């Protein structure tokens, strides 16, 4: 039986689900507070704790976006009888360092294979990318994390992407204005990267659809 939620709690669940579907990641406490008109992030935290006690979400301490929905098949919009097929483990290659000029999924980049539950992610990923550096720290993505990536060649503003810049592969938030693409860090210690969308030096490699951390590094 599903737990009974207050109207406010349902608003928060809907907001979390919308954020995951549109950007691949749950909102921060500050974003929840702003969206719902709370005067402080503490109010958002109190509601999240209540949802966690009801078993609707899981909270990961120490990360600003450490919120995971514990949805039933019906809540996700899938018929329960077909859900077993949808949740068969995925075998995903783990990509380490990417050599200059070669495709991300080239065999020489694959460090391992992981069997993972697809229900962990907002969309079906194609591979896991080992995160290097702390430029996305405030999005809850830190050095050593395994970012689940769906292969895409295009992105919408606000999405977290894997981008290729010349010989480098980077994870950033995407924003396009005219012909200018801004690759935005989620850490004030790092600068925004600006590139011309018409340049051969830039391409979108994929969209972030989730994150793995516990016990994997």
Active-site positions read: 135, 172
- Calculate helix-pair angle for 7-23, 41-53, nearest 10 degrees: 100
The secondary structure of residue 47, as a DSSP letter, is H
Q: How far apart are CA 63 and CA 82, in angstroms?
A: 33
**Contact call for residues 127 and 93 (beta carbons, < 8 A):** yes
3-state SS of 85-103 is HHCCCEEEEEECCCCCCCC
Q: What is the CB-side half-sphere exposure of residue 109 using CA atoms within 13 A?
A: 20
**Contact call for residues 88 and 82 (beta carbons, < 8 A):** no
Q: How far apart are CA 162 and CA 43, in angstroms?
A: 33
Listed in sequence order, the residues at least 6 apart from 102 whose beta carbon sits closer than 8 Å to its beta carbon are 108, 109
The residue assigned the tokens 């109190």 is 46
In DSSP notation, 60-84 reads: -TT-TT-EEE---HHHHT--GGGHH
- 110: which 2 tokens? 């694959």
């Amino acid at each position: 039986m599903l737990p009974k939620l207050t109207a406010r709690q349902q608003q928060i669940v809907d907001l979390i689900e919308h954020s995951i579907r549109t950007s691949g990641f749950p909102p921060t406490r500050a974003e929840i507070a702003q969206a719902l008109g709370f005067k402080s992030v503490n109010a958002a935290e109190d509601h999240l704790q209540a949802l966690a006690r009801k078993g609707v979400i899981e909270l990961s301490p120490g990360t600003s976006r450490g919120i995971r929905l514990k949805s039933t098949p019906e809540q996700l919009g899938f018929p329960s009888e077909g859900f077993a097929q949808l949740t068969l483990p995925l075998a995903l290659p783990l990509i380490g360092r990417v050599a200059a000029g070669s495709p991300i999924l080239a065999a020489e980049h694959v460090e391992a294979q992981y069997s993972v539950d697809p229900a962990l992610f907002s969309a079906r990923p194609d591979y896991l990318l080992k995160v290097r550096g702390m430029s996305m720290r405030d999005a809850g993505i830190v050095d050593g994390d395994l970012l689940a990536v769906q292969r895409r060649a295009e992105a919408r503003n606000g999405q977290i992407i894997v981008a290729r810049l010349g010989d480098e592969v980077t994870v950033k938030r995407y924003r396009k204005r005219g012909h200018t693409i801004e690759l935005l860090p989620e850490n004030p210690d790092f600068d925004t990267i600006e590139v011309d969308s018409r340049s051969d030096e830039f391409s979108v490699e994929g969209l972030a659809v989730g994150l793995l951390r516990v016990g994997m590094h």
